[in-house]
Amino acid sequence: MVSVHQRQELEKLSREVGKVLSSYWPGNPDNERGKTLKIYDKPDGTKVTEADLAANEVLVAGLRRLFPEDALVSEEGPKDEGHQSMSRVWITDPLDGTSSFIAGKDDFSVLIGLSIDTRIHWGSMYFPIKGIYAEAEEGKGVTLDGAAPGRVSDRTDIRKHGIYYRHCELRGGDLLYPEWMDSGMAFLALARGDFEGVIIRMKSHQEWDLAAPAVLIAESGGVMTDEKGAPIRFNQGKIGFQYLVASNGKVHRQLLDLIRESEQA
């Protein structure tokens, strides 16, 4: 699937992309590039920066070199023609958390996921400023900078501020995490046991935001579904569900019920 050598090369590639992003990051007051960062509006209303585009060039070139026979889908292009008919497809986001990046926050990441027959079998998340590299492969667990990072929470109840949510109104009271965090960091926090659940209404998120986190959460003992409890399938072209729901598995029904009750209120 992904050999030891290929995993090593993928980590090197992620860190190389991270260096590109760091060179543009506005959070460094001494970074001249960051002071004049070019920001553009995409057709869907979201933002893209010159850092996204520069990182994408490095990431795409690296994946083409490592896996010339596989298809590739990247947020900033390309999306290989006929990729939906191919078994192995790399689904990537060279800069997940563009808004955080522009604001000078440090929770943006580089996401790489390998879909095989619509399921993510391998994925990595790299947070350049935080210096965190996490990867997971189906059936082989998760490593965080080469060590086991722990597992999802084993709670059967939801702690205060134990649900991270985005783009939706939920009737969860003090169960809801009240602060902003990029969704990539929230997924990693869930995999490490810091949250019981993550709920995101699919307003601007796409499959490249979910692919890498999907296998990290699964290999940490968690669950990721849509609002009906159905598993997420990838390389489908369009998002066909309204909510992404991820949890430690033990409170998943509670999260699905929370969405239903909030929608009916």
Residues 10 and 125 in one domain: yes
- Pick the last residue of a domain from 87, 113, 144: 144
What is the CB neighbour count within 10 angstroms for residue 104? 15
Provide long-range contacts, Cβ within 8 A and 24+ apart, for 81-87: 83/235, 84/235, 84/236, 84/237, 86/235, 87/116, 87/117
What is the tally of structural domains in the chain? 2
Residue 185: which residues within 8 A CB-CB, separation 6 or more? 97, 107, 109, 127
Q: What is the pLDDT of residues 81-122, one digit of tens each?
A: 888 889 999 999 999 999 999 999 999 999 999 999 999 999
Q: What is the pLDDT of residues 162-208, one digit of tens each?
A: 999 999 999 999 999 999 999 999 999 999 999 999 999 999 899 99
Residues 104 and 185 in one domain: no
Task: Please say if the pLDDT value at position 149 is more than 80.
Answer: no
CATH number for the domain including 53?
3.30.540.10
Band the pLDDT of 18: cuts 50, 70, 90.
very high
pLDDT for residue 150: 75
Residues 260 and 200 in one domain: yes
Band the pLDDT of 46: cuts 50, 70, 90.
confident
Residue 45 lies in a domain: yes
Residues 31 and 137 in one domain: yes
Q: Is 239 exposed, middle or buried (0-12, 13-18, 19+ CB in 10 A)?
A: middle
pLDDT for residue 175: 98
Give the DSSP letter of residue 165. E
- pTM confidence score: 0.94
Q: What is the pLDDT of residues 114-137, one digit of tens each?
A: 999 999 999 999 999 999 999 999
* Residue with token string 């050999």: 3
Are 120 and 215 a contacting pair, CB within 8 Å? Answer: yes
Task: Please say if the pLDDT value at position 237 is more than 90.
Answer: no
| β-sheet with 71-74: strand ranges across | 71-74, 88-96, 109-116, 119-127, 132-137, 141-144
CATH number for the domain including 248?
3.40.190.80
Residue 25 lies in a domain: yes
Residues 11 and 103 in one domain: yes
pLDDT for residue 84: 85
Residues 108 and 188 in one domain: no
Q: Measured between alpha carbons, how far is 29 from 89 in angstroms, rounded to an integer?
A: 38
Residue 149 lies in a domain: no
Cα→Cα distances 186→36, 43, 194, 211, 217, Å: 29, 27, 9, 14, 11
Q: What is the pLDDT of residues 50-59, one digit of tens each?
A: 999 999 999 9
Residues 79 and 172 in one domain: no
Residues of the chain above pLDDT 70, percent: 98
pLDDT for residue 162: 98
Task: Please say if the pLDDT value at position 147 is more than 80.
Answer: no
Domain of residue 250, residue span? 163-264
Are 126 and 107 a contacting pair, CB within 8 Å? Answer: no
Q: Mean pLDDT over residues 2-16, rounded?
A: 96
Residue 157 lies in a domain: no
Give the DSSP letter of residue 134. E
